[in-house]
A and B are shown apart, each in its own frame.
Chain A
Amino acid sequence: METASTNYHKTDVAIIGAGPVGLFAVFELGLLDMKAHLIDILDKPGGQCAELYPEKPIYDIPAWPVISGHDLTEKLLEQIKPFHPHFHFGQMAESLEKTDDGWKLTTDTGTVIEAKVIVIAAGGGSFVPKKPAIANIDQYENISVFYAVRKMEQFRGKDIVIAGGGDSALDWTLNLQPLAKSLTLVHRRDDFRAAPDSVLKMRALAAEGAINLVIADIKGLKGDAPHLSGLQLHSREKGDFEIACNTLLPFYGLTMKLGPIANFGLNLHENLVPVDTEKFETSTTGIFAIGDINHYPGKLKLILSGFHESALMAQKAFNYVYPDKKLRFQYTTASSDLHKKLGV
């Protein structure tokens, strides 16, 4: 797997989403000599299969009587390896501009990809952190409230509250404690679903007074937005009370939201992208949508539907990438040309 490092790239096809469908699209495009870059906000490939059900068995992948979400992802990566896809993980495909011969896609971390064709394989939307339902929390975001840690240094010397009881909450409690001026872990119950080892370490820090552990619900934020000065908490034992802090990091896992694709100027149908069923192209020439994100009469949100859509999409994408070439239909079993591409 190649993880691209520099910030500007030119390629044939930019695929938004590295779920099973985005991954398989690399294969179908590759057979037709098109190179692809993939962008995903997750830090790993596999989309829902990797994030929501890695261990669960899937029974309706043709010719795999049973395969787990994790193994399906691994097999797809193996299958597309000959085509050297470039992955841009941990990045949100944020904006799309028309260029003379295609599109310019920019991510939220500043990666720019110029491509002749855009394939939206965004599934159920981008996986983004859940936001607690606390009044006005958005006014404090990115100054005092953060849902992810990109640079630890940013939190040096801060009075931090971490909220949540899962692995992210516990891992960041352990990692940021040495840097923080003070660190308080707030969780709604005195039980943690995180890895037992992390829980033991956190309890040890709490016992020696290196962190505060507070069992309570967060009810409100204090301080002139965007600057946080404290939290209003509530617990059964203590009733309403407050603690002081200038930084809040809530960790309640991820949820899928359509995200910036809503602003790409495409027609939308209830947060889905309508396409035709001949080539799975959107209302905008040169932009395709495949997998769970698309909508057409009779659509089934199944992995196998997305695989089929990938194959048809690639046929049409070829016309945009190679306007002067004629496409020849070939079987992978029989074509020595395809064998060469596959390295077999």
Chain B
Amino acid sequence: MKIHVTDFDGKEHTLEALEGWRVMEIIRDHGLPIKAECGGCLACATCHVYVAPEWQNKLVPPSLDETDMLDMAVDVKDNSRLSCQLIMNAELDGLRVTLAPAG
């Protein structure tokens, strides 16, 4: 399984993804600059990513808590998600996201 992550310089990285891992963890453990300060507790909004349009509808919709926490992210767009809430599975193989500013 792979995911494709575009960094702040516009460079795309293809990362090996593991079933059951949070997308945030995959990005972080490959050393890309994602802050994810709360480690996935839905308490920081610094794991903010933009999901490629073709993937938006394939994701489990955000929970109320995620939608609330997105209020604490900067530069939120329609395709904004908190990557600690996206759990990898076979259906997300090939997922494309772009890192969002952490503030």
Contacts and interface: CB of A to CB of B under 8 A. Distances in A.
Contacts of A131: 74, 103
A217 B38 contact: no
A130 B102 CA distance: 7
A187 B67 CA distance: 13
Interface string B51-71: 000000000000000011101
A252 B44 CA distance: 10
B76 A133 contact: no
B72 interface: yes
A106 B76 CA distance: 37
Interface residues of A, number: 24
Given A132-B75, A164-B71, A188-B76, A252 B41 contact: no
A271 to B, nearest CB: 11
A90 interface: no
Contacts of B75: 132-133
A165 interface: yes
A256 B45 CA distance: 12
Interface string B75-100: 11000000000000000000000000
B1 interface: no
A129 B102 CA distance: 11
Interface in B26-42: 35, 37-38, 41
Given A133-B75, A164-B71, A187-B71, A256 B101 contact: no
Contact of A193 (B41, B68, B74, B101): B68
Contacts, number: 60
A252 B37 contact: no
A53 B41 contact: yes
Interface in A94-136: 124, 129-133
Nearest to A236: B78
A299 interface: no
Given A255-B46, A255-B103, A53 B38 contact: yes
Contacts of A255: 35, 37, 44, 46, 102-103
A189 B73 CA distance: 13
A52 interface: yes
Contacts of B69: 193
Interface of B: 35, 37-38, 41, 43-46, 67-69, 71-76, 101-103
19 contacts: A52-B43, A52-B44, A53-B38, A53-B41, A124-B37, A129-B103, A131-B103, A133-B74, A133-B75, A133-B101, A133-B103, A164-B71, A188-B71, A188-B76, A192-B71, A253-B45, A253-B72, A255-B37, A255-B103
